[in-house]
Copies of this chain bind each other. A is one copy, B any other.
Amino acid sequence: MADVSGLTIAAVERDTGLSKDTLRVWERRYGFPKPLRDPSGERLYAADDVERLRLIKRLLDQGHRPGKVVGTAPAELLRLLEAHTPRTAAALPGSAECAALIDLLKLHRSDELRAMLSQTLLKFGLQRFVAEIVAPLNRHVGEAWLRGEIAVMEEHLYTELIQNTLRAAINAHAARGTRPRVLLTTFPDEEHTLGLLMAEAMLVPEGAHCISLGTQTPLSDIRMAAASGSFDIVALSFSSAYPVRQAVDGLLSLRDRLAGEVGIWAGGAGICGRQRSLPGIRVIAEIDDTLAALRDWHNAHLNS
């Protein structure tokens, strides 16, 4: 069955994180992507092209320059990706569990998957579960998805089951009145919720008092919430799909409008390595760093 209809430019923006303006200017400058047009002249992107755009996005995030990679054939792109990721499939503590979980996911054995997640959580404890199981799993699933080894259904199922597991664990805690008070959320257009839940799962066992607003809170509401709730820290999460520029702008603007004694933490693949351009903001490069950041906060507030 030939899929006659392609994706609109808005859909591609949503799926790749590349702005409409960027997509149009790339077409003009580099000749790619060159979408078909519908009867009224609007762009229709082929699924293959979107796939390739995702590869390109990946390379840009790794530091490649658009002029070099937009317009390069997919095979070469893959080679570049491989070249840059001498990822150690090393024997990390939970890599056996990881592999087993991925296998279950690909077989759609959702019952066993859920059971094994719960079991692994009990075995490792919440924090190590997040750092040593969920974080690597996220990476694996994300990469497998880029390589087309994982279907949409599997990716959705994965997110859903992890979410159930983490939320159940978080909900079981009942910290009260402890410090610091942490407000967790994401900016608008950032709908990935897993990073947020992972952060919360790292913080809650330490006695931090977390209040999560879920995803997509407008900037002004974040400001209002932070001010009204006497929070010590506002924590934001950014996935790799989130436009870096937008993230940095938003964070600086938030830093500007928020009282100085309120800390701002920013984490996730979409913001990692940007500490330089974010004065007054604590960038959390890896999920483990959450604990380091928390320790720093405690050290800085021993007297109070």
The chain A residues found within 8 Å of chain B, CB to CB, are: 3, 10-11, 14-17, 54, 108, 110-111, 114-115, 118, 151-153, 156-157, 159-160, 163-165, 167-168, 170-172, 174-177, 185, 187-188, 191, 211-214, 217-221, 224-225, 228-229, 246, 249-250, 253
Given the known interface contacts A118-B171, A224-B153, the answer about A176 and B218 at a Cβ–Cβ threshold of 8 Å is no
**Cβ B188 vs Cβ A115 within 8 A:** no
Given the known interface contacts A167-B168, A213-B160, A249-B11, the answer about A108 and B153 at a Cβ–Cβ threshold of 8 Å is no
Q: Tell which of B153, B185, B218 touches A221, judged by Cβ atoms closer than 8 Å.
A: B153
Per the bound structure, the CA–CA distance linking A108 and B16 in Å amounts to 36
Contacts of A253 in B (CB 8 A): 11
**Cβ A224 vs Cβ B151 within 8 A:** yes
Contacts of A153 in B (CB 8 A): 213, 217, 221, 224-225, 228-229
**Cβ A214 vs Cβ B249 within 8 A:** no
Contacts of A224 in B (CB 8 A): 151, 153
Contacts of A160 in B (CB 8 A): 212-214
Per the bound structure, the CA–CA distance linking A224 and B153 in Å amounts to 8
**Cβ A229 vs Cβ B15 within 8 A:** no
Chain B's closest residue to A51 (CB) is: B220
Q: How far is the CB of A72 from chain B (nearest CB, A)?
A: 21
Q: How far is the CB of A287 from chain B (nearest CB, A)?
A: 20
Contacts of A17 in B (CB 8 A): 188, 218
Per the bound structure, the CA–CA distance linking A246 and B10 in Å amounts to 8
**Cβ A152 vs Cβ B217 within 8 A:** yes
The 4 closest A-B pairs by CB, nearest first: A156-B213, A153-B225, A168-B168, A152-B221
Most buried by B among A10, A157, A171, A187: A171
Contacts of A220 in B (CB 8 A): 3, 15, 54
Q: How far is the CB of A244 from chain B (nearest CB, A)?
A: 13
Contacts of A212 in B (CB 8 A): 157, 160
Known: A14-B219, A153-B221. 15 other contacts (CB 8 A): A10-B249, A15-B218, A16-B218, A17-B218, A108-B228, A111-B177, A118-B171, A153-B213, A153-B225, A156-B185, A156-B214, A160-B212, A160-B213, A168-B172, A191-B191
Q: How far is the CB of A239 from chain B (nearest CB, A)?
A: 15
Q: Tell which of B10, B118, B159, B171 touches A114, judged by Cβ atoms closer than 8 Å.
A: B171
**Cβ B14 vs Cβ A111 within 8 A:** no
Chain B's closest residue to A7 (CB) is: B253
**Cβ B157 vs Cβ A211 within 8 A:** yes
